[in-house]
Amino acid sequence: MELALFNAEADDLVQLLTENEWPYHSDANVDANAVRTAVEKGYYADDRETFWIIEDGMKVGILIINDIGDTIPLFDIRLATSTRGKGIGVQALKWMQDYLFGEKNKIRIEGYTRADNFAMRKCFTKAGFVKEGYLRNAWENSDGTISDTVLYGAIYDDWKVSTVTPTKINDISY
């Protein structure tokens, strides 16, 4: 697996986002025209760094690092349906930590997923992220439903010594 900087390849992005379903994103089906417009307006570059996830020479996913100018960026990751469950998501999350902590001097990375996205939750855990919060009714879906959300975080201090520090969320009962 390798990652390569996105260079406004709109056709490739449209293909990835429209030929796959995204059941755990707020809009499960992506509109091609909306993707092209977003590329043209600089969405994938404005305070973001976007990378292709490449496996065996094929673009199989995308990693969008949001708030890249902040010390605590957020991200979105999407993998083609045929690629899911093969460990590529874990590899991409580890790469992102090496990149953001090692090269960009970030202090923390946050990621959110729907509570019912068990595959992503496993990815987070296997990549060394810590479950830090459970947010009730915090994910609005395009069909009008609302889902619970789980927050995961990775911190520089853990990354530099290859450890995982547990949270203190239950140290006090209130």
One-letter amino acid at 77 equals I
What is the pLDDT, as a whole number, of residue 142? Answer: 87
Q: How does DSSP classify residue 150?
A: E
Q: How confident is residue 93, by pLDDT bands cut at 50, 70 and 90? A: very high
Beta bridge partners of 2: 54
Mean pLDDT of 73-87: 96
Lowest mean pLDDT among 19-23, 92-96, 134-138: 19-23
pLDDT higher than threshold 90 for residue 26: no
Length of the chain: 174
3-state DSSP assignment of residue 75: strand
For residues 156, 116, 62 and 122, what is the CA-based torsion angle, rounded to 10 degrees? 50
Question: Is residue 52 predicted with pLDDT exceeding 90?
Answer: yes
Q: What's the confidence (pLDDT) of residue 165?
A: 94
Contact (CB, 8 A) for 80 and 20 = yes
Question: How many other CB atoms are found less than 10 A from the CB of residue 77?
Answer: 20
